[in-house]
């Protein structure tokens, strides 16, 4: 009888961008289960339901396992299996022709959010010589906050859940960490604090989430008016002398200008704008200012309207003026374990960088960004129109553009115009169905990678190691290097593991193979680092009045702007579309548009849900579980009604990321329940970041007669 071979591998789950340390149990080469690693510094053995379910990815019958090229009309679903060698020949020949005829800027590299390869995508673009790369979140999720904090503080602070002092107060703004746990700031910390009874929560959210139910103060804000709410809270803290006077005097720049700027922006001013009672605004401001240490949990909801930069600026000022910066239990800067992935930015000339789409108009996005990127609406417009120059090729790694970019019909039209569209994915998606070439991506079980968390703090570095090989699937970073070698590029040809060792060497002095054995490394938080080195800003202080934004030609103090489509700014539209639409809330079973083909996750969350208050539901004849139409000026979708008094009667909340992979037609239900059919990619945009409007739009809702569950 043959002996059974049992192995346990240390790794990091990447079913979302959270990064929980795991132990992968393998018997005779087959993955049996995924368990939390008690030694991991972030999750300490805990996992959400996605981690154990991830084993289904490896053996799923619909998994992409080999390269394919299109042999029929685009979207017809006719494919031929090819070798990797032929795939690389197709890519190299096409890109070299485009570079010769139009220049490398006519190639755009696209990606999704927060996985092992995301920092290698701009590196690959720079190696190719194109200034144009993009991902849906760069102007809409996380990077407005990243750039605001770098301009204001010189770095991105994170919540200090890792030291000996727990936060006494947590301000949760436009975020539901129990469901999302992004960027290494995992939901388990929030759960423990929330139910521990000592930490007071202030929650800003249009929906009564589980955290809002437990909060000391819940501010049920009108979607899209977070900027006004934050300014009113600043007003209260300054007017009542609740700011940390010593810290503000020594470590901030522009306090007097800020104080004068918000002098008239009282809670009474904000109440009719935000729908939050003035007394509630005042109570929240007082609680946050008088409870130390306090920290800020903020999410992408504040980045979904065209005032994202100034909204994030206003909110970020609250921890600053209350002296909660880089103190135990506060909002802290990290002590990184690794250096950044070398971006190869110097491979682009100044002339080439100036060709980055949207760069001259949206100068934070395209020039002053931590990772400068192209403007998404400009990219898709260039695909359709050829202006200001043609975009002929779009190479997408781990993204589903029809689900993740605003106004899916415009995106579909744009993709149809491409000369060359390539997608690298785990499964066929509605977007991959339109491609000319599809490459099989490795899952997190099949890669050698090295995520560091929390993002931009990076106190922890975790190993991911290749445990199994599925078909001919490859790791994205390996493919980048192999394309670079095939095209004989001057840079970008290194093995990813050599880059990992280079990143580890500077700060903790180990190799990637040594990290593989250890599983993870944690560098303890240090505090008040500004006392010896100041802040990495022009003034050396926290810039309440931003010299950096002023230099770029933008307002140095945060301000309020009514969303471009709203009951106030477009009352004529509101007559036909009377509800305020919010969307984008995370579903614990899935990650954005992923995992809906995994039975363990889908069977307990089968259909998309739209939240509506009982009063309008009764008036419109909508019952709990009914299929309903949700319509905006741009399109119409259907979801099942969830009738709840946890939402304002004037607001509708739609789930996003929905498609139906069980359908084998080319469209896979992409037009049925996809929230981005409703959203808007047209101007106006945030003047600094180019952000378009994903929330606070106007919609109407009605019952669908005789509709059944999608087959």
Res 47 pLDDT > 60: yes
User: Per residue in 172-184, pLDDT tens?
Assistant: 999 999 988 888 8
**Domains parsed from the chain with CATH numbers:** 68-136+344-446+471-522 (3.40.50.740), 143-335+529-552 (3.40.228.10), 571-703 (2.40.40.20)
Query: Are the C-beta atoms of 629 and 645 separated by less than 8 Å?
Result: no
DSSP letters spanning 652-669: EEE--S---TT--SSSTT
Q: How confident is the model at residue 710 (pLDDT cuts 50, 70, 90)?
A: very low
CA distance 232 to 201: 19
CA distance 154 to 370: 11
**Mean pLDDT lowest among 38-52, 179-193, 285-299, 584-598:** 179-193
Dig out the tokens for 236 from the structure: 């209260």
Average pLDDT for 662-666: 85
144 alpha-carbon distance from chain centroid = 10
Res 624 pLDDT > 60: yes
CA distance 641 to 628: 6
Q: How far is CA 66 from CA 86, 349, 426, 427, 678, in A?
A: 12, 37, 10, 11, 35
Q: How confident is the model at residue 660 (pLDDT cuts 50, 70, 90)?
A: very high
Cis peptide before 454 (omega within 30 of 0): yes
Average pLDDT for 576-589: 94
Q: What is the CA angle 354-355-356, rounded to 5?
A: 90
Query: Are the C-beta atoms of 221 and 270 separated by less than 8 Å?
Result: no
Rounded-to-10 torsion of CA 321, 323, 326, 330: -100
In 107-121, which positions are buried (b, 16+ CB within 10 angstroms) versus exposed (e)?
Answer: bbbbbbbbbbbbbbb
Pairing, β 169-173 against β 200-204: parallel
Query: Are the C-beta atoms of 160 and 330 separated by less than 8 Å?
Result: yes
Q: How far is CA 296 from CA 151, 159, 175, 285, 674, in A?
A: 18, 6, 10, 13, 31
Q: What is the CA angle 147-151-154, rounded to 5?
A: 100
User: Per residue in 274-333, pLDDT tens?
Assistant: 999 999 999 999 999 999 999 999 999 999 999 999 999 999 999 999 999 999 999 999
Dig out the tokens for 562 from the structure: 């009514």
Q: Which residue has the tokens 């700014």?
A: 569
Give the pLDDT score at 1. Answer: 58
Give the pLDDT score at 3. Answer: 76
Give the pLDDT score at 707. Answer: 60
DSSP letters spanning 343-376: --GGGS-HHHHTTSTTTTTSHHHHTSSSS----H
| Percent of the chain with pLDDT strictly greater than 70 | 99
Q: In sequence order, what are the residues at sequence separation of 6 or more whose Cβ sits closer than 8 angstroms to the Cβ of residue 602?
A: 589, 595, 596
User: Per residue in 452-467, pLDDT tens?
Assistant: 999 999 999 999 999 9
């Amino acid at each position: 009888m043959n002996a059974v071979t049992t192995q346990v591998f240390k790794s990091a789950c990447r079913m979302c961008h959270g990064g929980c340390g795991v132990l992968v149990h393998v018997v005779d080469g087959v993955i049996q289960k995924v368990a939390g690693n008690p030694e991991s510094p972030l999750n300490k053995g805990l996992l959400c339901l996605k981690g154990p379910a991830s084993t289904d990815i490896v053996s799923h019958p619909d998994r992409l396992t080999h390269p394919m090229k299109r042999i029929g009309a685009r979207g017809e679903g006719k494919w031929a299996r090819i070798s990797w060698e032929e795939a690389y020949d197709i890519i190299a020949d096409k890109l070299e022709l485009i570079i010769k005829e139009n220049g490398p800027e006519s190639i755009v590299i696209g990606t999704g959010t927060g996985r092992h390869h995301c920092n290698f995508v701009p590196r690959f673009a720079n190696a190719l010589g194109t200034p144009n790369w993009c991902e849906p979140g760069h102007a809409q999720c996380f990077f407005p906050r990243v750039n605001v904090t770098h301009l204001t503080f010189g770095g991105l602070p994170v919540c200090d859940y890792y030291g000996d002092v727990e936060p006494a107060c947590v301000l949760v703004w436009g975020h539901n960490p129990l469901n999302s746990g992004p960027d290494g700031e995992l939901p388990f910390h929030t759960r423990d604090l929330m139910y521990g009874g000592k930490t007071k929560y202030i929650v800003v959210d249009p929906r009564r989430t589980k955290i809002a139910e437990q909060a000391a103060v819940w501010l049920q804000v009108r979607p899209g008016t977070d900027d006004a709410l934050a300014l009113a809270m600043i007003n209260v803290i300054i007017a009542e002398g609740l700011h940390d006077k010593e810290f503000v005097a020594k470590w901030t720049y522009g306090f007097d200008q800020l104080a004068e700027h918000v002098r008239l922006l009282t809670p009474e001013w904000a109440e009719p704008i935000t729908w939050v009672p003035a007394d509630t605004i005042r109570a929240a401001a007082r609680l946050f200012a008088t409870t130390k240490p306090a920290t800020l949990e903020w999410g992408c909801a504040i980045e979904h309207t065209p005032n994202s930069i100034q909204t994030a600026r206003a909110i970020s000022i609250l921890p600053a003026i209350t002296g909660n910066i880089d103190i135990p239990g506060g909002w802290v800067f990290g002590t990184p374990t690794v250096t950044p992935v070398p971006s190869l930015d110097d491979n682009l000339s100044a002339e080439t960088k100036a060709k980055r789409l949207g760069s001259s108009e949206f100068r934070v996005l395209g020039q002053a960004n931590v990772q400068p990127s192209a403007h998404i609406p400009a990219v898709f417009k260039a695909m359709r129109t050829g202006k200001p120059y043609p975009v002929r090729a779009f190479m997408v790694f781990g993204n589903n553009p029809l689900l993740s970019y605003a106004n899916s019909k415009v995106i579909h039209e744009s993709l149809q115009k491409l000369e060359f569209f390539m997608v690298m994915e785990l499964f066929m998606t509605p977007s991959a169905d339109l491609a000319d070439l599809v490459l099989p991506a490795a899952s997190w079980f099949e890669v050698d990678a090295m995520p560091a968390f929390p993002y931009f703090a990076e106190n922890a570095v975790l190993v991911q190691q290749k445990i199994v090989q599925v078909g001919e699937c490859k790791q994205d970073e390996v493919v980048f290097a192999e394309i670079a070698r095939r095209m004989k590029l001057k840079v970008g040809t290194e093995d990813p593991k050599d880059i990992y060792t280079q990143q580890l060497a500077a700060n903790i002095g180990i190799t990637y193979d040594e990290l593989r054995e250890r599983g993870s490394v944690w560098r303890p938080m240090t505090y008040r680092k500004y006392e010896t080195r100041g802040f990495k800003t022009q003034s050396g202080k926290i810039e309440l009045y931003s010299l950096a934004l002023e230099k770029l030609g933008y307002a140095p103090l945060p301000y309020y702007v009514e969303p471009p489509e709203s009951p106030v700014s477009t009352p004529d539209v509101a007559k036909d579309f009377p509800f305020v639409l919010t969307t984008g809330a995370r579903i614990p079973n899935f990650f954005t548009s992923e995992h809906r083909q995994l039975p363990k996750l889908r069977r307990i969350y089968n259909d998309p849900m739209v939240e509506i208050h009982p009063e309008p539901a009764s008036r419109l004849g909508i019952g709990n579980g009914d299929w309903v139409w949700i319509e905006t000026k741009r399109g119409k979708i259907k979801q099942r009604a969830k009738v709840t008094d946890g939402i304002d009667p004037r607001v509708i909340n739609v789930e996003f990321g929905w498609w139906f992979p069980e359908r084998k037609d080319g469209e896979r239900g992409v037009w049925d329940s996809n929230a981005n059919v409703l959203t808007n990619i047209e101007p106006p945009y945030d003047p600094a970041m180019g952000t378009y409007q994903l929330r606070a739009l106007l919609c109407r809702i009605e019952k669908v007669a005789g509709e059944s569950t999608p087959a």
